[in-house]
Amino acid sequence: MRVIFIGPPGAGKGTQAEKMVAKYKLAHLSTGDMLRAARDAKTEIGVEAEKYMSSGQLVPDDVIIGVISERLKQPDCAAGCLLDGFPRTTAQAEALDKMLAENASKLDVVLELRVPDEELYKRLSGRGRADDKPEVIKERLVAYNNQTSPLLDYYGKKGLLKTVDGLGTVDDIFIRIEKILDEYAV
């Protein structure tokens, strides 16, 4: 199964993604993790990406599309994958549609983890990552609301979107996710 996981920074996506890939045996494609690894390894892409990441902005579409298209070709993606943090713009979603069509594969479901903005601010202020400074958090939420949230409509129109309430305990939220994904699991 192929799943896209969408949610604002601080929604608890990382924790739920770990549980999903373990239960459903999916390759975990987190573009944030890929970019942080590239940054730490000081590759050309990593150095370029850091300029945007450190201020809470999205890295340019062509950079991230290049990274993900290489990753999708890896054999572990064939059995199923969780796209976590990609796509984040309409241009990225269109590029993904093209990549999947070229492989004669398709998405099963797009999960949105929904958490109100006030709750996100509260949670993010307690995290301590370098891009979790208040002004960077604000920028990341602005990027989500302006650039990523249009994808909800994009996938809603395709009939692929399922929204999960992101308030509650980790286990409560995972039960909600399982109710949706069990339907697509083979």
Residue nearest to ligand AMP (CB): 32
Instruction: Specify the residue, 34 or 173, whose C-beta has the smaller distance to ligand AMP.
Output: 34
Stretch near ligand AMP under the rule CB under 6 A, chosen from 29-37, 72-80, 101-109, 161-169: 29-37
Query: Which listed residue (51, 73, 106, 127) is catalytic?
Result: 127
Q: What count of residues does the chain have?
A: 186
Distance in angstroms (rounded) separating the CA atoms of residues 2 and 16 = 16
Q: Counting contacts by CB under 6 A, is residue 58 touching ligand AMP?
A: yes
> Could you give the angle at the alpha carbon of 102 between the alpha carbons of 143 and 154, nearest 5°?
35
140 tagged catalytic: yes
Q: Counting contacts by CB under 6 A, is residue 17 touching ligand AMP?
A: no
Helix (H, G, I), strand (E, B) or coil at 78: coil
Q: Counting contacts by CB under 6 A, is residue 86 touching ligand AMP?
A: yes
Distance in angstroms (rounded) separating the CA atoms of residues 52 and 62 = 14
Helix (H, G, I), strand (E, B) or coil at 113: strand
Q: Please, which of residues 139-168 interact with ligand AMP by CB under 6 A?
A: 140
Instruction: Specify the residue, 45 or 175, whose C-beta has the smaller distance to ligand AMP.
Output: 45
Distance in angstroms (rounded) separating the CA atoms of residues 175 and 171 = 6
127 tagged catalytic: yes
